[in-house]
Structure 1
């Protein structure tokens, strides 16, 4: 089978769908790999490395014309979709709930589309889960970005000139990104508090040295498939009040909360930002999905009442070498699932395939 890798065209997207090591794995399984010239340069992988791994580096037009299956990282633009060949299979990020127009365009173009972000939350799909691999890196980088913007150090320091108290970090959300942010902030010496509506995350937070903000009734929250299915208004009110006490004293706040493929919830209002201390920093990791902070702007830094608010759309792309390596491993494992001896298997009775195949035979399935 011929597999193609396109160079990303989205602004700020420096990752690549396959790295040389993953190309070597695929060519070892008798697949031919076509890589667009320069596709890996922003991630630190030149054409010579791909060629040595067994790929053929060609023009974009040649990749599209020759590949049976095309790999991308970012959601395809309208121009990219228009350039794809009818009948091609596309494996990429799609975020179906946020991008109905993208799905419609792909269906009209006749492109069979697998959304890597729609991977089901089952054990055997964990090694294919791009959200986990990329959010892990993003959680680390969020702390680094926040620390760089903060006008104070993280750790406790006892010096001849006096004692420097540790920074107070508040993290909203204890998913993959949040847990990595906790671990990173703790390694840097901060005091870390964490808020999450899911009661089962308490043990994970505390195992990393964070303090979980618990409120009465949190153990009654309904969880389905790892996501919140229902919580009473009373519990939500209690949690907001409890978290606000930590918010107004925090030096750095990191928000990571997302709703599976949909719009991110607003967790910090403009009024709450106004209550925060001057010099504090907020890193909003969810601005691409609408943002968790009401005053955050996508990929922009704004200062409101002395509080620096940093909107981060795509932190994983700021560490493109490792992000690409992990993404490529997810892709190679996924291809092992959907590609057979005769090409792509569109087995709609198979759980992973039916969850990720969002466009097939000109129809939107998401």
Structure 2
């Protein structure tokens, strides 16, 4: 029997994405694999079971029937305990495991003898760009953050001149200029907002300005040298941090919308917007916290909620923004998985070569143990 690939329904609360699409099923079938999909897997992404069947998958009605004997299991989120108990020893699992926080899932995968890869650990190197699920999903999250901000904001984004008077353009401030931040800037600009952005890395200034936004930072000598040769931010002095905080605080007061995007792998998200900042904003202003699932960048935000403060500021703390555009998010993530799985699928079977730098960086459990140093520690 050839390679068996299993895809089960996502059971994480609110998860609408799926790990394969009909297009990627065709690619796996072309490699000689049998693809088993649990009924209803694509429902949240508007993919009927019949489309999977037409692409060459076998759709089965329950989880155990799908997982029985599977060599490779593809997921968006980590598998449930019930799914893990159904795995055969040595099965390979690929998912966005959230491995730093979901320690019970990681331990169970190790105990079951599974080799588990976390897509969030794929290194950001040229060869792995097509597998970079964090970037593909962050891009959509940055777009959706602006849409959610526009929805919560009781006014228009672009300047509009009418016979009855002029509507001023919304002022949008993006904090953190990674993949999500850049897409948020681009989307807000497309909607006609006046956009500013800030980041601790000097190299991002040019990217911000190339999108038609203004860069905000205390641009002294320390700032100009605030980046390592590898492109990472250096720790800043307390004096610089105080100057930057004062500048940011004054700027936030004048903004209609603030979007925060700062995340630190393996640690709680840093607080960028304090309660005092929120209290200084105008009634009707909106803050969208893209880091809410990791503790949040905004004091007073709540996971899964839109909080309205006493001074009339809305703090949007919605989880899983890519899942709000599930069809596109699933399409991109499924392509990331095809590329990653391609490192393992050799001559109709699976070969786990942990000397490969991408696989070595992403593996979390193998041979009955947790092998990723950051997660194990």
> Structure 1 length normalisation: TM-score?
0.96
Map residues 119-198 of structure 1 onto 2, 5 A cutoff: 119-198=122-201
What do you get for the CA RMSD once the two structures are aligned? 1.4
Partner of 1:54: 56
For residues 235 and 78 of structure 1, the distance between their equivalents in structure 2, rounded to whole angstroms, comes to 47
Counterpart selection for 1:334 from 329, 340, 347: 340
Q: Give 1:33 deviation, angstroms.
A: 0.5
Q: Which residue of 1 aligns with 2:375?
A: none
Q: Deviations over 1:204-246 (max 9, x none)?
A: 1110011110212222224475543422222222221111122
Between 1:202-211 and 1:82-91, the stretch displaced more is 82-91
- Structure 2 gaps of 5+ residues are 373-377
CA distance in 1, matches of 2:298, 2:334: 32
Aligned to 1:308: 314
Q: Is the 8 A contact 1:281 1:307 kept in 2?
A: yes
Structure 1 unaligned residues grouped into runs of 5+: none
Separation in 2, partners of 1:364, 1:240: 40
Matches within 5 A, 1:19-98: 19-58=21-60, 59-98=62-101
C-alpha displacement of 1:345: 2.3
1:79 deviates by 4.0
Contact kept, 8 Å, 1:146 with 1:282, in 2: the verdict is yes
- Superposed counterparts of 1:186-265, under 5 Å: 186-215=189-218, 216=220, 217-223=222-228, 226-265=231-270
- SS across alignment from 1:71: strand
Partner of 2:15: 13
Q: How many residues align?
A: 366
Alpha-carbon separation, structure 1, partners of 2:56 and 2:217: 54
Report the Cα distance in structure 1 between the residues aligned to 2:130 and 2:137, rounded to whole angstroms.
12
Q: Is residue 356 of structure 2 the alignment partner of residue 353 of structure 1?
A: no
Conserved? CA contact 2:70–2:88, under 8 Å: no
Question: Contact (CA 8 Å) 2:32, 2:348: kept in 1 or not?
Answer: no
Give a deviation string over 1:136-160, Cα, whole Å, max 9, x none. 1111010000001001101111111
CA shift, 1:96, in A, is 2.3
Q: 1:236 to 1:99 in 2, by over 3 A?
A: farther
For the residues of structure 1 that align with 2:13 and 2:306, how far apart are their CA atoms? 17
Q: Per the alignment, in what secondary structure is the counterpart of residue 76 of structure 1?
A: coil
Going from structure 1 to structure 2, the CA distance change for 1:362 and 1:309 (only over 3 Å counts) comes to: same
Shift, 1:261, TM fit = 4.0
Q: State the secondary structure of the residue aligned to 1:204.
A: helix
For residues 223 and 3 of structure 1, what CA distance do their matches in structure 2 show? 42
- The 2-side partners of 1:47 and 1:66 are apart by 21
Cα shift readout 1:258-302 (whole Å, capped 9, x = no counterpart)? 112432111111121111111100010111111000111111111
Q: Using the alignment, how far apart are the partners of 2:116 and 2:229 within structure 1?
A: 27
In 2, the alpha carbon distance for the partners of 1:223 and 1:290 equals 27
- How far is the alpha carbon of 1:342 from its aligned partner? 5.9
Bigger mean CA deviation after superposition, 307-316 or 96-105: 96-105
How many angstroms does 1:13 deviate by?
A: 0.4
> TM-score of the superposition, structure 2-length normalised?
0.94
**Equivalent position of 1:106 in the other structure:** 109
The separation in 2 between residues aligned to 1:79 and 1:345, in whole angstroms, is 26
- Does the aligned pair in 1 maintain the 2:6–2:36 contact within 8 Å? yes
Q: Give 3-state SS (helix, strand or coil) of 2:54's partner.
A: helix
